[in-house]
Amino acid sequence: MENTKDKILFTIDLLKGQGIPIKSRPEGIVVAAAAFIIPAVVAIVMLGWYLSISASISIQKQKISSYEEKISKLSKAVELYNSFEEEKGAVNNCLSEVSSSIKKHTQWSPVLAMLVKNMPDSLVLKELEVKRRSTKKKLPKKDNPQTMVDVSVPVETLHMTVSGNPQNNSDEAVRLFRDRLCSSDLLREKLEDITVSQEFNTPKSQDAVSYDIDCIFKPKL
């Protein structure tokens, strides 16, 4: 009969009671990896988001800077335009005043030339004078045409004194001169009336007779 010897196993604790470390299992490896990877992924996402926002902000700042530059140029253009408009308004006001003044004054050079051309040879011009006075006229108000207001308007009178020899029928010569003035293209639309009066002769002027001729112009409205 064969003898069987019992085998005895001995366990030696090299950690001196600290215990034997647990062998790593797949679940532990996954948890450990997840604990490291998730923060890294979050950090990468945040970094990408930050960089994207920074780039967008930079682009927007460039656009804003470009817009501000354009607005600055447009502002200068608007200021220049407004300045031109103000200057234009001032010039128009001046032109309006000049036009209004011109309408209130008669250009006498062509009138004098017409007088010389139409005066009969038997008459002599002794005196020539322009008289001005004002008269009241009812005119529509500028800002309210339905309302009539009294406006002072200028009236001009061209006064002449002519003389002629009584033996040369001076009365007929003066009448002819008056008719020529009334029918002239230059004056017929401007004249309101022409009056003629004869001066009394004095002892020193028995050889001549004098006439006062007043060409009364229509009021300058």
Instruction: Map tokens 């004054």 to a residue.
Output: 105
What's the rounded Cα separation, in Å, for the pair 166 and 210? 10
pLDDT at 148: 80
Quote the pLDDT of residue 67: 76
**Whole-angstrom Cα distance, residue 52 to residue 48?**
6
Arithmetic mean of pLDDT over the chain: 77
Question: What pTM value is reported for the model?
Answer: 0.50
Over range 63-81, report the average pLDDT: 77
DSSP 143: T
User: Residue 218 — φ and ψ, nearest 5°?
Assistant: -65, 150
Query: Using CB atoms within 10 A of its CB, is residue 164 exposed (0-12), middle (13-18) or buried (19+)?
Result: buried
Out of 22-26, 51-55, 71-75, 142-146, pick the least confident. Answer: 22-26
Distances (CA, A) of 53 to 48, 56, 65, 66, 96: 9, 5, 18, 20, 62
Cα 25 to Cα 21, 35, 90, 128, distances in angstroms: 12, 16, 96, 135
Higher pLDDT, 5 or 89: 89
pLDDT tens-digit map of 118-134: 999 889 999 999 888 88
95 φ, ψ to 5°? -65, -40
pLDDT for position 194: 92
Whole-number Å distance between alpha carbons of 39 and 126: 120
What residue type is 38 in one-letter code? I
Beta pairing partners, 213: 160, 196
Enter the tokens of residue 101.
Answer: 């003044």
> Would you report the helix, strand and coil content of the chain in percent, each value rounded to 5?
50, 25, 25
d(CA 156, CA 145): 27
pLDDT over 80 (residue 68)? no
